[in-house]
């Protein structure tokens, strides 16, 4: 007998091999003018104001819409980052703040046009800002932090001038107008699609754009990819010329190892969400450009519920702060890629400055931790759970194991609990978790903003559920403090209280590792922690 | 007694009717299960840097979660009745639209993988059965064991590493088509067919190249059951009287093995292939993730992790519907192949 039946099998192999051969590089010419950005997340709406919109949607809207003003950029340790203190005009040619700080007048660029060719007028600006503070959308809560709450505050002076009135001189009013939400929409187009139920056209704008931004949306496949085409008439960039790349492709690639392969092979140009281990090996190979910026507006915590025993006892919280194996955690979770918020030395026992986040003078010291436990009346330790969410497992899992091991040495028995993301956020919101790790980010990182949003009130972002009237009062007062020295003093006070009360333990600020082809230039770390496609160009 | 075909049709209709209560049960069960699961989707989706109570309430209202569970169920059922599966918070699109776009991707991948698996498994099984206990038989057994032991995401990553990263032969593993290729007008949703209908052979080639690696990594996993079944039923068939008779009258090797033995042995293989197909369609989530394949399984998994109710419910309903359909087709085929099945 002979094996005739081998034939089909061999045939399959041959066809497979044939099919795999030769990928045609026919698009070489346009490739250089195209930016291909790959990400693990996806764009889910063209209007970032829609509740539930993703960070990728935020980044996209920066390129499809303009705002009145934009953040400048500065160098931090040799890397470009956004600069909260430099606000430049985007659609506004210039702006004036009145001496009492209650009025901001914006003069619009005369040459600014929407993507359909119609001019940008003060009417459009008013409609867009009204929408932001009136419609049930995300912009409302954001603009509130800058004392912008009502449509009455926006007044059209003439077709190219708009005036914003504030109830108090709020230093966050202007920066707020540079954030993602208060984008300027072509009101004529949007109104055509408004309905009685939906006067602000939220449903239509979710799937369509009507802006004046640098890029026009060519195709939008939610969860898969977005293709952008350059608007040749756009000139709001620094050099009065359109954005560099003719096309931008934003593509969802869920598997981090595949993203690393793509950028290493040169098929993708830039990626910001690789695993720390991949970044390290790509950096070591030296073929690609790796720009690591500490996310200076983000913090990773180990949080304790200050209202729940035993963590309602300050000595227990201090014991935890001295029992965490910081250095090992930092290495295991992030491969040391970030800036630590532990291990400071305060010469006179006082904070070095009034800036939050700051490095606390805590380090692994088990004897000290045992003393604090004794002072808390729990010399034998106790049992608790330590939770983290599945989405952060790659960093939080090794961390949790180290926490468990180290706390075990002082008699605290820790059960590790890994929760699906939605479940974790629900439990945090309901204040049911005793001990867990989480991260925060603030778009407008000022000391009072951090303390007001993350350390006061019975609300979700107050992870530690701390309820200290003194701290809340100082933070609230600092918000409207015009005097820089007094503001600094308030910051120092708050930081000293933080160390004393130890509501939660700040661990570090993880790096944003942007990995890009060596030809890509101009990458800037932005407040929304994504790539602003207008920043980058190719050599 | 009615004619064969008529009886089969009546049977099929009866089967379809009797599956409706099961479908309804699946519907209600999934609905309740999603609500019982801990995790509030509103809190999860209200995760902008300033989202507070107000935003959470807003989303809750948008998703209809501000009403009581029985009320929600009534609304849900009446929506389903009107063909509305709800809206996904994750993609911001109606679930029906998402599923309609993604199902062909999953089907195309699963069909191709099954085809590759069958083309490889049947000859392997036959070869093993022809020489039981020989080196060839052991070789096939080893190959099958390896295929089953290596999880699909591992074989997927390995294939990517070798064919894309090291050799550069395969295109980048990012979905169904190279981002630079323009899509054909969508007729069937199956890219390989749409490109052919549009007469765009270059595009067809590009789509096929994207399909090969994920299909092969899926196929590797299911070759084992198919090959083992082929071998077992070939052994039975080769040892039977009619094969012995065929050999004794001096028929050619080809005629004995292929025409008589294999044709009789193939029936159980087809049954298993049906089961394998159903399982693959729901379980290929890892392959879809690794190859960024925009299919229904990875869609459902993402939705489940973020407690996005509507897509999960829609997905389960779709899968239940497909199972009912596949069973129905198998049933009808049986009836046609073997008229005795129809007699009740």
Whether B43 and A460 lie within 8 Å, measured CB to CB: yes
Reported ipTM: the value is 0.78
CATH class of A83-196: alpha beta
- B96: chain A residues, CB-CB within 8 Å: none
Whether A425 and B43 lie within 8 Å, measured CB to CB: yes
Q: Name the minimum distance, in Å, from the CA of A379 to any CA of chain B.
A: 35
From the list A467, A475, A474, the residue with the least C-alpha distance to A450 is A475
Which pLDDT does position B260 carry in this prediction?
Answer: 82
pLDDT (tens digit per residue) in B251-275: 888 888 887 888 778 778 877 887 8
- A420: chain B residues, CB-CB within 8 Å: 39, 305, 307
Chain B CA closest to residue A58? B48
Whether B172 and A267 lie within 8 Å, measured CB to CB: yes
Average pLDDT over residues B14-24: 85
Which pLDDT does position A457 carry in this prediction?
Answer: 85
Q: Name the minimum distance, in Å, from the CA of B19 to any CA of chain A.
A: 33
Cβ atoms A340, A287 nearer than 8 A: no
Instruction: Give the list of residues 6+ apart from residue A109 with CB closer than 8 angstroms, or none.
Output: A89, A91, A92, A93, A120, A236
Mean pLDDT of chain B: 83
In a structure prediction context, what are the per-residue pLDDT tens digits for chain A, which is 539 residues long?
343 344 444 444 444 444 444 333 444 447 889 999 999 888 888 999 987 788 899 999 999 999 999 999 998 888 899 998 899 999 999 999 999 989 999 999 998 899 999 999 999 999 999 999 998 888 888 898 889 999 999 999 999 999 999 998 888 899 999 999 999 999 999 999 999 988 999 989 999 999 999 999 999 988 888 999 999 888 887 666 888 999 999 999 888 888 999 999 999 999 999 988 899 999 999 999 999 998 888 999 999 999 998 999 999 999 999 999 999 999 999 888 899 999 988 888 888 888 989 999 999 999 999 999 999 999 999 999 999 988 888 889 999 999 999 999 999 999 999 988 778 888 888 888 999 999 988 888 889 889 988 998 888 889 999 999 999 999 999 988 888 899 999 999 999 999 999 999 999 999 999 999 999 999 999 999 999 999 999 98
Which pLDDT does position A221 carry in this prediction?
Answer: 86
Considering only the beta carbons, identify the residue of A30, A253, A429 that sits closest to B43: A429
- B161: chain A residues, CB-CB within 8 Å: 261
Instruction: Provide the number of CB pairs (under 8 Å) joining chain A to chain B.
Output: 192
Which pLDDT does position A188 carry in this prediction?
Answer: 94
Considering only the beta carbons, identify the residue of B124, B172, B299 that sits closest to A9: B124
Helix (H) / strand (E) containing A252: strand A247-252
Q: Name the minimum distance, in Å, from the CA of A127 to any CA of chain B.
A: 22
Contacts for B128-132: CB closer than 8 Å, 24+ residues apart: B128/B227, B128/B231, B129/B230, B129/B231, B129/B232, B129/B234, B129/B235, B129/B238, B130/A1, B130/A3, B130/B234, B130/B238, B130/B257, B132/B235
Q: Choosing among A27, A149, A208, A223, which should be mutated to test the B contact, i.e. which has the most B CBs within 10 A?
A: A223
B344: pLDDT strictly greater than 90: no
Q: Choosing among A31, A51, A146, A517, which should be mutated to test the B contact, i.e. which has the most B CBs within 10 A?
A: A51
Query: What is the token pair recorded at A250?
Result: 């934003």
Chain B CA closest to residue A220? B91
Considering only the beta carbons, identify the residue of B37, B40, B180 that sits closest to A27: B180
Whether B127 and A3 lie within 8 Å, measured CB to CB: yes
Chain B CA closest to residue A227? B179
Distance CA A113, CA A233 (A): 8
More reliable by pLDDT, A84 or B334: A84
Average pLDDT over residues B300-324: 85
Superfamily of domain A31-65+213-294+512-538: Periplasmic binding protein-like II (3.40.190.10)
pLDDT (tens digit per residue) in A17-68: 444 443 334 444 478 899 999 998 888 889 999 877 888 999 999 999 999 9
DSSP state of A355: -
Considering only the beta carbons, identify the residue of A8, A141, A223 that sits closest to B50: A141
Question: Nearest-5° angle of CA B276, CA B280, CA B285?
Answer: 165
DSSP state of A442: -
Average pLDDT over residues B129-149: 88
Would an 8 Å CB–CB cutoff place B27 in contact with chain A?
no
Whether A51 and B55 lie within 8 Å, measured CB to CB: yes
pLDDT (tens digit per residue) in A234-277: 888 766 688 899 999 999 988 888 899 999 999 999 999 998 88
Task: Just give the CATH number of B93-337.
Answer: 1.10.3720.10
Considering only the beta carbons, identify the residue of A6, A52, A142 that sits closest to B45: A52
Domain ranges in chain A? 31-65+213-294+512-538, 83-196, 298-509
Average pLDDT over residues B175-182: 78
For chain B, the C-alpha Rg in angstroms (whole number) is 24
Whether B161 and A261 lie within 8 Å, measured CB to CB: yes
- B302: chain A residues, CB-CB within 8 Å: 223
Which pLDDT does position B341 carry in this prediction?
Answer: 59
Chain B CA closest to residue A247? B180
Query: What is the token pair recorded at B161?
Result: 């590493």
- B174: chain A residues, CB-CB within 8 Å: 38, 251, 253, 258, 262, 267
Would an 8 Å CB–CB cutoff place B189 in contact with chain A?
no
B144: pLDDT strictly greater than 80: yes
Helix (H) / strand (E) containing A454: helix A447-454
Chain A CA closest to residue B47? A52
Position B51 confidence tier, pLDDT thresholds 50, 70, 90: low
Would an 8 Å CB–CB cutoff place B216 in contact with chain A?
yes
- A45: chain B residues, CB-CB within 8 Å: 92
Whether B291 and A50 lie within 8 Å, measured CB to CB: no
- A429: chain B residues, CB-CB within 8 Å: 40, 43, 56
Give B 98-127 residues with CB within 8 A of chain A: 98, 101, 116, 119-120, 123-124, 126-127
Q: Name the minimum distance, in Å, from the CA of B27 to any CA of chain A.
A: 22
Domain ranges in chain B? 93-337
Whether A52 and B59 lie within 8 Å, measured CB to CB: yes
Whether A51 and B58 lie within 8 Å, measured CB to CB: yes
Strand-pairing partners, residue A328, are none
Considering only the beta carbons, identify the residue of B46, B120, B160 that sits closest to A258: B160
Which pLDDT does position A340 carry in this prediction?
Answer: 93
Chain B CA closest to residue A224? B294
pTM comes to 0.83
Compute how many other C-beta atoms are within 10 angstroms of the C-beta atom of residue B316.
Answer: 19
Residue with tokens 């894309």: B164
Which pLDDT does position B52 carry in this prediction?
Answer: 67
Distance CA A445, CA A449 (A): 7
Pick the CATH number of A298-509 from 3.10.105.10, 3.40.50.300, 1.10.287.3510, 1.20.1560.10: 3.10.105.10
């Amino acid at each position: 007998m002979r094996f005739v039946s081998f034939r089909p099998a061999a045939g399959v192999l041959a066809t497979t091999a044939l099919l795999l051969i030769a990928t045609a590089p026919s698009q070489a010419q346009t490739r250089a003018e195209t930016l291909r950005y790959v990400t693990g997340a996806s764009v889910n709406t063209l209007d970032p104001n829609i509740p539930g919109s993703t960070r990728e949607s935020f980044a996209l809207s920066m390129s499809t819409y303009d705002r009145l003003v934009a953040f400048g950029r500065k160098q931090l340790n040799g890397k470009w980052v956004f600069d909260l203190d430099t606000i430049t005009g985007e659609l506004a040619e210039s702006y004036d703040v009145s001496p009492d700080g209650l009025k901001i007048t914006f003069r619009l660029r005369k040459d600014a046009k929407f993507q359909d060719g119609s001019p940008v007028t003060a009417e459009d600006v008013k409609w867009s800002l009204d929408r932001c503070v009136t419609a049930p959308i995300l912009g409302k809560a954001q603009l509130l932090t800058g004392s912008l709450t009502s449509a009455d505050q926006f007044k059209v002076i003439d077709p190219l001038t708009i005036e914003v009135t504030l109830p108090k001189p709020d230093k966050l009013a202007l920066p707020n107008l540079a954030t993602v939400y208060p984008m300027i929409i072509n009101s004529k187009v949007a109104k055509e699609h408004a309905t009685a139920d939906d006067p602000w056209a939220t449903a239509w704008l979710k799937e369509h754009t009507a802006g004046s931004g640098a890029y026009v949306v060519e195709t939008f496949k939610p969860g898969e990819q977005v293709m952008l085409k350059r608007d040749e008439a756009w000139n709001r960039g620094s050099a009065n010329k359109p954005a560099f790349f003719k096309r931008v492709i934003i593509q969802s690639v869920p598997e981090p190892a595949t993203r690393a392969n793509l950028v290493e092979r040169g098929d993708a140009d830039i990626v910001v969400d690789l695993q720390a281990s991949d970044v390290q090996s790509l950096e070591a190979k030296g073929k690609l450009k790796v720009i690591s910026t500490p996310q200076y507006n983000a913090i990773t915590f180990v949080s304790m519920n200050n209202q729940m025993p035993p963590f309602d006892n300050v000595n227990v919280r201090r014991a935890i702060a001295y029992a965490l194996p910081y250095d090992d955690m930092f290495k295991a979770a992030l491969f040391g890629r970030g800036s630590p918020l532990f291990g400071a030395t305060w010469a006179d026992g006082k904070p070095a400055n009034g800036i939050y986040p700051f490095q606390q003078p805590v380090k692994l010291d088990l004897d000290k931790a045992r003393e604090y436990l004794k002072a808390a009346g729990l010399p034998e330790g106790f049992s608790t759970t330590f939770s983290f969410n599945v989405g952060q497992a790659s960093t939080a899992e090794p961390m949790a194991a180290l926490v468990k091991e180290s706390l075990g040495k002082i008699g605290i028995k820790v059960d590790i609990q890994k929760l699906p993301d939605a479940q974790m956020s629900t439990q945090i919101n309901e204040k049911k978790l005793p001990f867990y790790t989480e991260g925060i980010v603030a778009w407008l990182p000022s000391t009072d903003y951090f303390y007001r949003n993350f350390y006061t009130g019975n609300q979700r972002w107050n992870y530690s559920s701390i309820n200290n009237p003194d701290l809340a009062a100082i933070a609230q007062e600092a918000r409207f403090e015009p005097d820089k020295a007094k503001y600094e003093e308030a910051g120092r006070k708050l930081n000293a209280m933080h160390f004393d009360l130890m509501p939660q333990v700040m661990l570090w600020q993880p790096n944003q590792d942007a990995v890009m082809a060596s030809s890509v230039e101009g990458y800037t770390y932005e407040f929304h922690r994504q790539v602003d496609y207008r920043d980058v160009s190719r050599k | 007694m009615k004619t064969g075909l008529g009886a089969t049709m009546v049977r099929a209709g009866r089967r379809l009717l009797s599956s409706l209560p099961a479908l309804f049960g699946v519907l209600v069960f999934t609905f309740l299960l999603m609500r019982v699961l801990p995790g509030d989707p509103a809190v999860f989706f209200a995760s902008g840097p300033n989202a507070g109570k107000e935003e959470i309430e807003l989303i809750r209202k948008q998703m209809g979660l501000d009403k009581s569970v029985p009320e929600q169920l009534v609304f849900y059922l009446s929506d389903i009745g009107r063909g509305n599966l709800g809206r996904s918070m994750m993609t911001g699109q109606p679930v029906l639209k998402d599923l309609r776009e993604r199902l062909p991707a999953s089907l195309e991948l699963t069909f191709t993988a099954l085809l590759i698996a069958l083309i490889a498994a049947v000859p392997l099984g036959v070869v093993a059965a022809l020489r039981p206990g020989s080196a060839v038989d052991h070789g096939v057994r080893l190959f099958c064991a390896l295929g089953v032991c290596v999880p699909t995401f591992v074989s997927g990553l390995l294939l990517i590493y070798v064919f894309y990263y090291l050799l550069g032969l395969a295109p980048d593993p990012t979905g169904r088509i190279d981002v630079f290729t323009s899509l054909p007008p969508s007729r069937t949703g199956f890219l390989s067919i749409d490109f052919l209908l549009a007469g765009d052979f270059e595009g067809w080639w590009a789509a096929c190249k994207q399909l090969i690696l994920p299909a092969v990594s899926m196929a590797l996993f299911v070759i084992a059951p198919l090959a083992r079944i082929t071998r077992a039923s070939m052994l039975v068939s080769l040892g039977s009287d009619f094969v012995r008779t065929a050999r004794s009258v001096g028929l050619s090797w080809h005629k004995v093995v292929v025409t008589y033995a294999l044709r009789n042995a193939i029936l159980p293989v087809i049954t298993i292939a049906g089961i394998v197909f159903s399982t693959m369609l729901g379980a290929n989530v890892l392959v879809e993730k690794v190859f960024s394949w925009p299919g229904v399984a990875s869609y459902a998994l993402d939705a489940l992790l973020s407690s996005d109710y509507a897509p999960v419910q829609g997905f389960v309903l779709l899968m239940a519907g497909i199972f009912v359909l596949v069973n129905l087709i198998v049933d009808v085929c049986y009836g046609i192949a073997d008229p005795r099945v129809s007699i009740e």
